[in-house]
Homo-oligomer: A and B are copies of this chain.
Amino acid sequence: MAATIKDIARLAGVSPATVSRVLANKTAFYGPTTAEKVQAAALKLGYRKNTAAAELVTQHSNVIAVVVNSVKTNFSSQIITGIQDTAAAHGLHVIIVYAGITDPEAQRKALLTVIERPVMGILLLSLNLTPENLQLLQGAQTPYCFLSIAFDDGDLPSIASDDWQVGYQATQTLLKAGHRQIGLAAVDSDSHTGRFRLAGYESALRDAGVTPQAEWVQPGVYSYEAGREAMAAYGVTSGLTGVVAGSDMAAIGVLNQARNLGLAVPTDLSIVSIDGTEMCELVQPQLTSVSQNFYDMGAAGVRQLLAPDQHPQQVTPIQVVERETVRTLPVK
């Protein structure tokens, strides 16, 4: 079995208290020779601190937990990198647990995994909690912050892009290139995110003097399949010259499905994607996107955990990056 502080104490001929202090590099309460003896004994026994025991007495932990929904849109790695870097800079550790995207029971289990042990804070990655699970989360006396998702309830701390702007700017990118018939694909219609993107999309159209058509929007869950299905629903006769897709994966779905339908991108159909992950540059042609600042989202998340009172809801900037999937239409 693993060596404890007491084993070291015995071997070095000192008290556990002293061992604890030298191992924690406390500045006082022991002399240089004792310190050496203790270090030597610790090394010899291959001592590993039992952090759980330490956290129990100090009543404070330095791990932050990230709960991720396992949806197949892969911006999470960028957010996690942002979290990781910022956490490391503050001397914090990061653990990640996966929750099912919809299954409330899987969500609950994931939540309990982190709530039932001492964590310093909880970051929830594009996770839509059921009311019961939200209550569970709030019942734990732990700071938390939602990432890449926003709520109508303004009190829930969250960091995300301005979804209305996302929808607006994506649409505007196509409008500026002369498009008038523009679809919105694979954006879900019942989340805050989806509703605001839709609203932004419609505003952009109206501001350009185009009246939105119901059949131009094909809702979906941001997945590759949702993208394909949306494009399949449009078909070749929709008259659409451009579509904005709810995610990079969805955009690839419409891209591939368009190809299946015999539509060349961007010659016959322009696409602007939402997210701007590295996927955009892997695919041919490369996807023009309104890119979110995922790294910063993660970084802001851990800062929010460290100073929980200020700005409960934060917005990270977006930017449209032009690549190869929008064609400028000739003026007629």
Contacts and interface: CB of A to CB of B under 8 A. Distances in A.
A3 to B, nearest CB: 10
A259 B284 contact: yes
Contacts of A81: 70
Interface string A45-59: 010111111011000
Contact of A283 (B46, B93, B282): B282
Contacts of A63: 113
B96 A97 contact: yes
Interface string A5-44: 0000000000000000000000000000000000000000
A252 B282 contact: yes
A97 B95 contact: yes
Report the copy number of this chain in the oligomer: 2
Given A52-B55, A116-B51, A283-B282, A98 B98 contact: no
Nearest to A1: B141
Contacts of A118: 50, 52
A97 B87 CA distance: 13
Contact of A94 (B74, B98, B117, B256): B98
B113 A48 contact: no
Nearest to A96: B96
A149 interface: no
A216 to B, nearest CB: 25
Contact of A139 (B46, B52, B140): B46
Contacts of A98: 80, 84, 94, 96
A278 interface: yes
A127 B249 CA distance: 28
A77 B70 CA distance: 8
A52 B63 CA distance: 13
A206 interface: no
A176 interface: no
A214 interface: no
Contacts of A115: 48
A215 B109 CA distance: 53
Nearest to A138: B46
Nearest to A286: B256
Contact of A48 (B2, B51, B116, B256): B116
Interface of A: 1-2, 46, 48-53, 55-56, 63, 70, 72, 74, 77, 80-81, 84, 88, 93-98, 109, 113, 115-118, 139-141, 224, 249, 252, 256, 259, 278-279, 282-284
